[in-house]
Amino acid sequence: MFIVMSLGGSVLAGELDARRFKTYADAIIQISKKHKLLLVTGGGVYARKYIETAKAAGANEVACDFIGIDVTRLNAKLFIAALGKTAYPEVPVNYNEAAIAAESDKIVVMGGVLPGQTTDAVAAALSEYLKADLFLIPTSVDGIYTEDPNVSKNAVKYKTMTASELVQMSCGLSLSAGSKSPIDPVACKLIERGGIRTIVLDGRDPKTLMKIIEGEEKGPQKECDGTIITPCCL
Ligand code: UTP
C-alpha cells in the first residue's frame, strides 16, 4: 500500500525527546519494509509556544501560520535524522516537490506548506494528489468523539463515520493559528472531496499504528482501534 500519514506533533514532539523520535522511526522503518510511506509531521507544543509568543508580540494570523510551518519543518528534519538512510534527505516544501520525492524508494517526511490550515490538510491533499491507498492520522486521542473526551465524560467514540459527517462536525472548528482541534476543517473537506479512506488513531504507542496497518493489509477493515472515516455513505 501507499500510505500517507499526518503524524501529529503531540504524538512525536510533546517535549523534544530523541528516544521518542528514534522509537517512532524504528516502527516507521518496519512498516516501510512492506509499504511506501509519506509522512507529514506536526508542530506540537513548540509550534503553539512560538505562535503564542508571536501573537503576543503583535504578529498577525498569517505571520503566525508561517512560524507554525517552520516548526513543523524542524520536526520533519528531526524525524529525517532519526530515520537515517531510509529517509529522503530533504524536506519538500510544496506538493510538487513531495511528488518528486515520492518517486524515490525513500520515506518522505515534510511539514506544512501554506497558511490557513494544519499539517492534516497537507497530508489529506497529498493523499489525493499522489493517490494514496490509505490516509492515517495518528494523534494523542484514540479516535473521533462526539465531544472532547478530555473535557466531557459523556464523550462517545465513533467507530466509523462518513466523510460528510466529519465535515458537518468540523464546521464550528477554528482555523486560527495554533488552534487545537482533532482534525482541521480544511483537511475534513479534502477527505470528503477526495474520497480518501482515512483512519484516526491513537498514535502514542506505535504498536497501535502497526496493528491497524496490518488489519488494512487484508482489505479495508470494518472496525479497528481508531475511527474509520468512510469515503461515502456506506
Ligand atoms: P500543526 O499541523 O502541528 O497543527 O500546525 P495541529 O495539527 O493543530 O497540531 P499537532 O501538531 O497535531 O499537535 C501547527 C500550526 O502551523 C501552522 C498553523 O498555524 C498550525 O496551527 N500551519 C501548519 C500552517 O499554517 N499551514 C500548514 O500547512 C501547516
CB-based pocket (< 6 A), ligand 1: 8-10, 42-44, 47, 51, 64-65, 68-69, 72, 112-115, 117-120, 122, 177-180
Separation CA 139–CA 202 (nearest Å):
5
pLDDT tens sequence across 72-117 = 999 999 999 999 999 999 999 999 999 999 999 999 999 999 999 9
CA of residue 68 to ligand 1 center, whole Å: 6
Question: Rounded to an integer, what distance in angstroms lies between the CA atom of residue 194 and that of residue 232?
Answer: 10
Q: Is the pLDDT of residue 186 over 70?
A: yes
Confidence at residue 152, expressed as pLDDT on a 0 to 100 scale: 86
Q: Atom 15 (ligand 1): residue with closest C-alpha?
A: 68
Question: Atom 16 of ligand 1 has which residue's CA nearest to it?
Answer: 68
**C-alpha cell of residue 102:** 515520492
Q: How many angstroms separate the Cα of 192 from the Cα of each of 4, 162, 168, 219? A: 16, 8, 11, 21
Q: How far is CA 34 from CA 27, 50, 60, 171, 214, in A?
A: 12, 37, 44, 37, 10
Per-residue model confidence as pLDDT tens digits over 8-65: 888 886 788 899 999 999 999 999 999 999 999 999 999 999 999 999 999 999 999 9
User: What pLDDT was estimated at residue 87?
Assistant: 98
The protein residue with its alpha carbon nearest to ligand 1, atom 12, reads 8
Ligand 1, closest atom to CA 13?
11
- Share the mean pLDDT of the chain: 92
Give the pLDDT confidence score for residue 212 in this predicted structure. 96
State the cell numbers at 73.
519543518
pTM of the prediction? 0.94
Q: What pLDDT sits at residue 227?
A: 95
Distance 43 CA to ligand 1 centre (A): 6
Confidence (pLDDT) at 151: 85
Contact 119, 112 (CB under 8 A): yes
Residue-wise pLDDT for 158-169, tens only, equals: 999 999 999 988
Q: List, for residues 112-139, the tens digit of each pLDDT value.
A: 999 999 999 999 999 999 999 999 999 9
Looking up cell 537515517 gives 84
Q: What pLDDT, on a 0 to 100 scale, did the predictor assign at position 221? A: 92
Q: What is the dihedral of CA 22, 24, 25, 26, to 10 degrees?
A: 90
**Contact indicator for 35, 213 with CB cutoff of 8 Å:** yes
Quickly state the pLDDT bin for 182 (edges 50, 70, 90).
Answer: confident
Pocket perturbation via mutation, ligand 1, pick of 72, 75, 204 by most ligand atoms within 8 A of CB: 72
The residue contributing the CA closest to ligand 1 atom 27 is 112
pLDDT tops 80 at residue 179? no
Number of the ligand 1 atom closest to the C-alpha atom of 43 = 3
Atom number in ligand 1 closest to CA 45: 13
Report d(CA 82, CA 102) in Å as an integer: 19
Pocket test for ligand 1, best of 119, 173, 181 (most atoms within 8 A of CB): 119
Q: How far apart are CA 164 and CA 167, in angstroms?
A: 5
